[in-house]
Amino acid sequence: MTQHRIYAMSFAKVYPLLVAKAERKGRTKAEVDQIIHWLTGYGEEALACQLAKDTDYETFFAQAPGLNPARADIRGKVCGVRVEEIAEPVMREIRYLDKLIDELAQGRAIDKILHRRPG
């Protein structure tokens, strides 16, 4: 099976797009970072390090210090596809992040987005 192009994309190039999407809707970079921290376990320094290293998307998720187990509760559609039905693990992780950022941009409260589960 061929690898998706998005896996090789630099997370440092995607990150500003995630922030811009949120900021266009009146949300903040800090909220985007909070979502990334919750989802992946990266702290501020570790996230900055990944961005500085120009890590690709696949490696970004593979090296995540603690993928939140509650992420499996994320439901809904991204790009017309239900995230809970995505079979490929890396693509599912990418779409989890997309879904959470979409919810942020739609004005949903951060507490509701993160489901306030442990992690």
Looking at residue 116, its pLDDT comes to 58
Looking at residue 4, its pLDDT comes to 79
Residues of the chain with pLDDT under 70: 1-2, 116-119
pLDDT tens column, 29-57: 999 999 999 999 999 999 999 999 999 99
Looking at residue 81, its pLDDT comes to 87
Looking at residue 5, its pLDDT comes to 84
Full 3-state SS string of the chain: CCCCHHHHCEHHHHHHHHHHHHHHCCCCHHHHHHHHHHHHCCCHHHHHHHHHCCCEHHHHHHCCCCCCHHHHHCCCEECCEEHHHCCCHHHHHHHHHHHHHHHHHCCCCHHHHCCCCCC
- Give the span between the Cα atoms of 26 and 91, in whole angstroms: 27
